Amino acid sequence: MRRFLLSFLTSLALSLPALAQQAPAEFPEKLDIGISTNEIAITSDFRGADLTIFGAIDGFDGNLLAQGKYDIVVSLEGPKESATVRKKTRVFGIWINTRAMTFELVPESYSVSSTRDIEAIAPAEEMNNMGIGVSHLTLTPIGFIGDGSGVTEFREAFRRLRETSGVYQRDSGGVQFISASLFKASVRLPADVPNGTHVVRAFLFRDGTFVAAKALPLRVVKTGLEAAITQAAQEKPLLYGVIAVLLAIITGWTASLIFRRD
């Protein structure tokens, strides 16, 4: 029994330094944020909008702040859904889909602003682990992916397509300090922003090390005719389909009467 206790205490003593290294450091800084609105209403003439986020760093070090050692990253993350990327190949002169890859639960929209280029704020590995920034979002393929050699190609294609369409956006310099510890950020909602609950996230870094984070929900809802159409399509798909077909027939018949050549 004595030999067992001695062995246990020796093992525990050896493991304490390793545990101390793995334990996260405690920082005095805390992060608080607020947004200009808790809800965005989507109407027929919606062309996108800028969301303003205000925040403050509590318990900051004045010397570090004066040296520009604090960095802020603010993101607006839309609802998540699985997304499929397809690759077209020319076969006998015809472009057809030959390969595809589906990524599990990715944001339908994503806008990020920062005090400077995200790549200069913290190491890429840390940004990958936290999923901060368009280039570091977690894109996990599902289904059969073969030997995995094409995963990087499809990930890059996914990001490129989302940025080209405007639903993924980045703004280095979009976060600015307006006083000693107060900052203001602006993130863009695209014109085709998805409906649902979005999440505003703010991350604080001190000299390249992650310190604190804060998150707030933002509701994006359709109003007016758009809301009625969306509700009908979801709750009464059969009736919605019949009405859509009838409207198409009526529109086509009316156009034929107007532009008929006698």
Do 74 and 116 fall within a single domain? yes
Do 47 and 143 fall within a single domain? yes
**Cα(220)–Cα(193) distance, rounded to whole angstroms?**
8
| Residue 71 resides in a domain | yes
pLDDT at 231: 60
Cβ neighbours around 168 below 10 Å, total: 23
Do 162 and 32 fall within a single domain? yes
Range of the domain at 38: 24-78+106-222
pLDDT at 48: 86
| Residue 144 resides in a domain | yes
Do 211 and 135 fall within a single domain? yes
Q: pLDDT (tens digit, 0 to 9) for every residue of the chain, 262 residues total?
A: 444 444 443 444 444 343 333 334 578 999 999 998 899 888 877 888 889 999 999 999 999 988 999 999 999 999 999 999 998 888 888 888 888 999 999 999 999 999 999 999 999 999 999 999 999 999 999 987 777 778 999 999 999 999 999 999 999 999 999 988 899 999 988 888 888 999 999 999 999 999 999 999 999 987 765 555 666 666 677 777 777 788 888 888 887 777 766 5
| Residue 160 resides in a domain | yes
Do 252 and 136 fall within a single domain? no
Cβ neighbours around 35 below 10 Å, total: 19
Q: For residue 59, give the CATH number of its domain.
A: 2.60.40.3880
Do 196 and 138 fall within a single domain? yes
Q: How many domains does the chain have?
A: 2
**Buried (b) or exposed (e) across 190-216, using 16+ Cβ within 10 A?**
beebbbeebebbbbbbbeeebbbebee
Do 130 and 250 fall within a single domain? no
